[in-house]
Amino acid sequence: MNRKKMMVYNLREFDEREYFTKYAEEYGLEILSSSETPTLENAYLADSCDYVNVITTPINEELLKVFKKQGTKYLVTRTIGYDHIDLKAAKSLDIKIAHTPYGPDGVAEYTILLMLMCIRKMKSIRHRFLGQDYTLKGLIGKELSDMTIGVIGTGRIGTRLIKMLSGFGCKVFAYSVHKNPELEGYTEYCSLDELFKKSDLITLHMASTDETEHMIDDNAINKMKDGVVLINTARGSLINTQAIIRGLNTGKISSLGIDVVEDESALFYYDRREDILPNSDLYLLNSYPNVVITHHMAFYTDHAVETMVKDSLKGAYLDINGKDNPFVVSK
């Protein structure tokens, strides 16, 4: 049997390799791989491969043209988001683009983790404990059940989060372009301005688009309650970083919990301990005692990793066999 070839970039030996081996056999694909990020210099690795598999690194028009010239007809990202890929260029080059929408539970649970860390001042608690300072002054927290939560975006993750929050007994308002009938009885939909005004804690679950870029800016923050808590486990581009810093400095934002930052592609998932980071805002944000930052980890569970690998290969299998492919987002 002549198997179709797939070039896999950014393959992680420690958590992905076993799943690629397992599902490549199941779906009849020949896997070529590299731990490197796809660039013009290593694009040749995908020569004669119908399928290319990537993660969150930027895939621009120039790189897509090289892939196309080499025979690529389908590119999949092992992520839910696909804003790092130039979809317009891909369409003009007749390259199908697919993604891997893993289950929402991991990100929803992690969002609650960040919420609790922020309102219970866990960063300061840990700093004191590690320094053997066991005092209480300044560490009093809040209870989630006493708070009004605003959820922006009620797709799969936002919906799952709201259902989870129902167990805490807190009041939940939601804003979304499309209302989800599944949430009747769990939340009350309102306008974005109303959500800003009413919420003690606001969490973001929108996709990254031209319309949502910097949706949290100075104007939005000014409409929020004094001392609002802000959480972002979606995309860094939703937040104007300079506006957030101003909000923290004035106390308008009492605490910030983020798993994503603007311009993170050159930072996350690399060992940058000895480097001067190109994103100086990250240094500043990390210095605040009321800011919890993690490096795009909300998705990272055993279930999600297996699902992302499996579905990135399953989509190629469906394409090869001319079957309906739910993973394709642009063709």
Tell me what the pLDDT averaged over the chain comes to: 96
Percent of the residues in the chain that have a pLDDT greater than 90, as a whole number: 95
Q: How much is the average pLDDT of 173-187?
A: 97
pLDDT at residue number 12: 96
Which residues, at least 6 apart from 257, have a Cβ–Cβ distance to it below 8 Å? 114, 115, 117, 118, 229, 230, 231, 232, 291, 292
Q: Are 29 and 4 in contact (CB under 8 A)?
A: yes
Q: Which CATH architecture has domain 105-293?
A: 3-Layer(aba) Sandwich (3.40)
pLDDT at residue number 265: 82
Please give the sequence-ordered ranges of beta strands (E in DSSP) within the chain, or none if there are none.
4-8, 29-33, 51-54, 74-77, 96-98, 148-152, 171-175, 188-189, 201-204, 228-232, 253-258, 291-293, 328-330
Question: Mind giving me the DSSP string for 81-107?
Answer: --TTB-HHHHHHTT-EEE-----SHHH
In the chain, list all ranges with CATH 3.40.50.720.
Answer: 4-102+301-330, 105-293
Tell me the pLDDT band of 105, cut-offs 50, 70 and 90. Answer: very high
**Three-class SS state of 189:** strand
Q: How far apart are CA 312 and CA 9, in angstroms?
A: 12
pLDDT digits (tens, 9 = 90+) for 287-323: 999 999 999 999 999 999 999 999 999 999 999 999 9
pLDDT at residue number 219: 98
* pLDDT for 4 beyond 80: yes
Catalytic residue annotation: 235, 264, 296
Q: How far apart are CA 284 and CA 261, in angstroms?
A: 12
Q: How much is the average pLDDT of 190-216?
A: 97
Q: How much is the average pLDDT of 229-253?
A: 98
pLDDT at residue number 276: 94
* pLDDT for 2 beyond 80: no
Q: How much is the average pLDDT of 11-28?
A: 97
pLDDT at residue number 252: 98
CATH level 3 topology of 4-102+301-330: Rossmann fold (3.40.50)
pLDDT digits (tens, 9 = 90+) for 137-176: 999 999 999 999 999 999 999 999 999 999 999 999 999 9
Percent of the residues in the chain that have a pLDDT greater than 70, as a whole number: 100
User: What does pTM read for this prediction?
Assistant: 0.93
Q: How far apart are CA 317 and CA 4, in angstroms?
A: 9
Chain mean position to CA 330:
20
pLDDT at residue number 169: 96
Q: How much is the average pLDDT of 57-64?
A: 96
Q: Are 216 and 230 in contact (CB under 8 A)?
A: yes
* pLDDT for 1 beyond 60: no
pLDDT at residue number 266: 81
> The sheet that has 201-204: what strands, in order across it?
188-189, 171-175, 148-152, 201-204, 228-232, 253-258, 291-293
Q: How much is the average pLDDT of 227-256?
A: 98
Q: Are 140 and 260 in contact (CB under 8 A)?
A: no
pLDDT digits (tens, 9 = 90+) for 250-301: 999 999 999 999 989 888 888 999 999 999 999 999 999 999 999 999 999 9
Q: Are 267 and 259 in contact (CB under 8 A)?
A: no
